[in-house]
Structure 1
Amino acid sequence: MDFSELSVDELRDALNQVHEEVSPEVIALWPADQAAARVRYTDLVNHIDDLYYPGMDDLLVFAERRGVQLVILLDHEERLYFASFEGLF
């Protein structure tokens, strides 16, 4: 999903589409900064404009949804991806 034309609130809405299904705590990873943190998904979404800078950052979020691993990617080109996988680890 290209979100370059979306407002911050619309981006939050897109991220909240999976909110009820995502584990309360997730791992957020900023590869360029070599940083990661365990955060509440709701806090991440509510403060996304402080934690992700379009055009610069890639943000990976690792979560669990109904027993399946979920990866959410916001890339520096302002695209949003959701991918789930099972049994890789």
Structure 2
Amino acid sequence: METTRQRIAATLREGPATASDLGESLSLPTPVVYDHLEHVSRSIDDDDGDERFLVAPPECRDCGFDGFDDPVNEPSRCPECRSERIAEPAFVIR
């Protein structure tokens, strides 16, 4: 039986997904998924294998800002224009 983190990693090996996508497919709340993603990213990066944990950063839908300081997080507001219309980050393991 796989752990939650192993299931998240397996899903991300199939293709990109947001935390909301993962939460929906694994029946987990989105904040819990973000906690697991932190650990999955560290385990992939610590592993000496060829895999990489990649993040398409969140992006403001109003001004296009994508320089958020923590890409493995869902910001609530854009620091540039203060918009709350932020596209979720997407994750993948390649």
Assess same fold via TM > 0.5: no
Q: Which structure: greater strand fraction?
A: 1
> Which gives a bigger RCO, structure 1 or 2 (Cα 8 Å, sep 6+)?
2
Please, what TM-score do these two structures have when normalized by structure 2?
Answer: 0.26
What is the TM-score when the length of structure 1 is the normalising length? 0.27
Q: Which has the higher helix share?
A: 2
Q: Tell me which structure has the larger Cα radius of gyration.
A: 2
